[in-house]
């Protein structure tokens, strides 16, 4: 993902981003990568992920914050005070989208509820809200954190080995999935607005996102009423689909159909296994998995793992070596797919969405605290004296305050 000044597919869309931590910032970075003008509005205490480290860069930005906040401008604004809310309303005059992840009821308490205020004053505004569990219902209003939602949504119950027990998924899949869902919802609302001329409110929750990841476990349960069991690196309904130890590394081998299984056994020098009555169909292989596991273990024990993975992939059999993160980002295919974003010393993960005519670009490094505050206010029509007045009053701030201060 290259540096550049291309317009991008979302050029002309302005996003006021009041969100913090991960789900919302991940969403708005994706929009910013594709050309949206994203204005990140931080509270005086700042986005707490600025402190989530080490590591930190030479400007004091944490890697966590930097990984999800490029292609944005930044203003630090105290919207907990009436004067700050007035500034926010001025910014919304030219906005297409506002995204926030406040506790449900917070904006309403401040007189900024969508139905009561925003929809009337800004009829074309799309207001996206991210919450943990939604604003109502038995869990409504509770804060949402990725790992805790993994627990509530049953994701940990299907992740882990029988010996080790339930395990948290090692990446914040719920937060990132929620961010992706929010981006999709915003773009749906933008498309609909082109027809109706009207904005709308949309709510995306971590809980809902986590439930959608329960495939195939949820449909299996709906069909047979049986709770899924821990299968570790294996698959509950496909065999073989498991991690095996080679001479050099571990690899994950899968064969989802008869052709793949037959090719796999041919490549491993045991073509007769594909005709064994115990392994003739996927159903047979699932039923006789221990015997099949023993055969595969012996077949790959002396193989070079990377070479085996490439050989099987070239033959049409899914296989992957269990790489470490440094290996992944040094791999030539990662570079080929432009999945490293770079600009003036900044490096991050590139965008996964590749548009042919209007590609994503890296135009801005992750912003410093209030780096663009004055610039944003000038664009909103504020004069220099007014900006200085907001600074003196603490509505606009250059220095982070302690939370609650």
CATH number at residue 35: 3.40.50.10540
pLDDT in tens, 56-114: 999 999 999 999 999 999 999 999 999 999 999 999 999 999 999 999 999 999 999 99
CB 189 within 8 A of CB 126: yes
CA distances from 189 to 16, 100, 166, 264, 380 (A): 16, 16, 38, 46, 25
- Say yes or no to pLDDT of 329 above 60: yes
Per-residue pLDDT for 236 more than 90? Answer: no
pTM for the model: 0.93
Q: Judge whether 17 counts as a catalytic residue.
A: no
CATH number at residue 261: 3.30.1540.10
The one catalytic residue in 175, 275, 304, 344 is: 175
Is the predicted pLDDT of residue 244 greater than 90, yes or no?
Answer: yes
Looking at the structure of the chain, the number of domains it has is 2
Same domain, 156 and 299: no
Q: How far is CA 186 from CA 218, 263, 316, 333, in A?
A: 27, 44, 38, 31
Same structural domain, 174 and 127: yes
Per DSSP, 125 falls in state: -
**pLDDT of res. 234:** 83
pLDDT tens digits along 173-201: 999 999 999 999 999 999 999 999 999 99
Q: Does one domain contain both 98 and 205?
A: yes
Same domain, 208 and 266: no
Domain holding 81, by residue range, is 14-213+335-393
């Amino acid at each position: 993902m290259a540096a550049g000044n291309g317009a991008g597919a979302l050029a002309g869309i302005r996003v006021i981003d009041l969100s913090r931590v991960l789900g919302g910032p991940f969403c708005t970075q994706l929009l910013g990568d594709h050309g949206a003008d994203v204005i990140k509005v931080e509270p005086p205490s700042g986005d707490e992920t600025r402190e989530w480290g080490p590591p930190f860069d030479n400007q004091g930005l944490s890697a966590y914050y930097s990984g999800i906040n490029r292609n944005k401008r930044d203003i630090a604004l105290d919207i907990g005070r009436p004067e700050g809310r007035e500034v926010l309303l001025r910014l919304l005059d030219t906005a297409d989208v506002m995204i926030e992840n406040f506790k449900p009821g917070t904006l309403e308490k401040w007189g900024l509820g969508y139905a009561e205020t925003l929809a009337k004053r800004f009829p074309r505004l799309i207001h996206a809200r991210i919450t943990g569990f939604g604003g109502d219902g038995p869990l409504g209003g509770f804060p949402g954190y990725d790992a805790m939602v993994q627990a509530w949504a049953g994701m940990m119950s299907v992740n882990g080995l029988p010996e080790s027990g339930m395990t948290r998924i090692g990446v914040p899949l719920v937060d990132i999935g929620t961010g992706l869902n929010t981006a999709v919802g915003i773009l749906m609302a933008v498309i609909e607005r082109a027809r109706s001329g009207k904005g709308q409110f949309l709510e995306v929750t971590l809980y809902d996102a986590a439930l959608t990841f329960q495939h195939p476990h949820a449909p299996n349960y709906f069909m047979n009423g049986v709770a899924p069991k821990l299968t570790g690196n294996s698959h509950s309904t496909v065999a073989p689909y498991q991690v095996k130890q080679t001479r050099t590394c571990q690899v994950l081998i899968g064969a989802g159909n008869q052709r793949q299984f037959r090719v796999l056994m041919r490549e491993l020098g045991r073509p007769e296994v594909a005709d064994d009555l115990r392994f003739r169909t996927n159903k047979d292989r699932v039923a006789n998995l221990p015997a099949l596991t023993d055969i595969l273990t012996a077949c790959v024990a002396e193989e070079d793992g990377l070479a085996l993975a490439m050989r099987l992939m070239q033959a049409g059999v899914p296989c992957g070596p269990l790489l470490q993160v440094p290996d992944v980002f040094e791999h030539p295919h990662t570079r080929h797919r432009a999945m490293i974003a770079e600009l003036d010393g900044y490096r991050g993960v590139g965008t996964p969405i590749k548009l042919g005519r209007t590609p994503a670009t890296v135009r801005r490094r992750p912003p410093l605290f209030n780096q663009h505050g004055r610039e944003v206010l000038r664009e909103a029509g504020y004069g220099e004296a007014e900006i200085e007045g907001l600074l003196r009053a603490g509505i606009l701030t250059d220095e982070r305050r302690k939370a609650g201060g």
